[in-house]
């Protein structure tokens, strides 16, 4: 069912590459350190050189010191493979206490970091995210998730 510029699709309709990435994101959620929220998130990135990077959310007793799965993954990719473009990111949520049929979309801070990644590489990447009930949402590029985003010139 199309929602504006997002698509909500059953898992079987994902391309094999994206389905594989989503599986990696689900696996990554198992490594979350989320004792406070009990909300485990996994992210998997596919880079243009074929590397797959996975990460999970890491919380802290001083709450703002924790970090979302997406940013752990994106910052790791930027430091380990600078200049290598991101092709796709998949994000999966694991939680028993959350409603199964809800969409859990990346938070605003992660969208801003995705926007920076897109600007930096000057090409969009696919974004796939799912909630605990495996409802999959898909979009191409950050613009549908973060229209009119903040940018600075690097010149």
Q: Which of 57, 88, 117, 137 binds ligand THU (CB under 6 A)?
A: 57
> Residue 130 in contact with residue 138, Cβ under 8 Å?
no
SS3 string of the chain?
CEECCEEEECHHHCCHHHHHHHHHHHHHHCCCECCCCCCEEEEEEEECCCCEEEEECECCCCHHHCECHHHHHHHHHHHHCCCCCEEEEEEEEECCCCCCCCCCCCCHHHHHHHHHHHHHHCCCCEEEEECCCCCEEEEECCCCCCCCCCCCCCC
Pick the catalytic residue from 18, 27, 59, 70: 70
Contact call for residue 81 and ligand THU (CB under 6 A) = no
**Complex with ligand THU: residue 106 or 131, whichever CB lies closer:** 106
**Complex with ligand THU: residue 33 or 49, whichever CB lies closer:** 33
Site string for ligand THU, 121-150 (x = CB under 6 A): ------------------------------
**Complex with ligand THU: residue 30 or 107, whichever CB lies closer:** 107
**Complex with ligand THU: residue 46 or 131, whichever CB lies closer:** 131
Contact call for residue 28 and ligand THU (CB under 6 A) = no
Please say if 70 is a catalytic residue: yes
Site of interaction with ligand THU (CB under 6 A): 34, 37, 39, 41, 57, 59, 66, 68-70, 106-107, 110
């Amino acid at each position: 069912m199309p929602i504006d510029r997002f698509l909500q699709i059953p898992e079987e309709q994902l391309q094999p590459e994206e389905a594989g990435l989503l599986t990696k994101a689900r696996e990554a959620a198992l490594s979350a350190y989320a004792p406070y929220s009990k909300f485990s998130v996994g992210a998997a990135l596919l880079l243009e050189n074929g590397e797959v990077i996975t990460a999970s959310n890491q919380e802290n007793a001083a709450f703002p010191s924790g970090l979302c799965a997406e940013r752990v993954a994106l910052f790791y990719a930027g430091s380990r493979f600078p200049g290598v473009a991101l092709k796709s990111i998949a994000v999966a949520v694991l939680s028993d206490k959350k409603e199964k049929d809800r969409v859990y979309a990346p938070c605003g801070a992660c969208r801003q970091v995705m926007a920076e990644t897109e600007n930096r590489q000057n090409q969009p990447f696919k974004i796939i995210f799912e909630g605990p009930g495996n409802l999959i949402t898909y979009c191409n590029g950050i613009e549908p998730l973060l229209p009119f985003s903040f940018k600075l010139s690097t010149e």
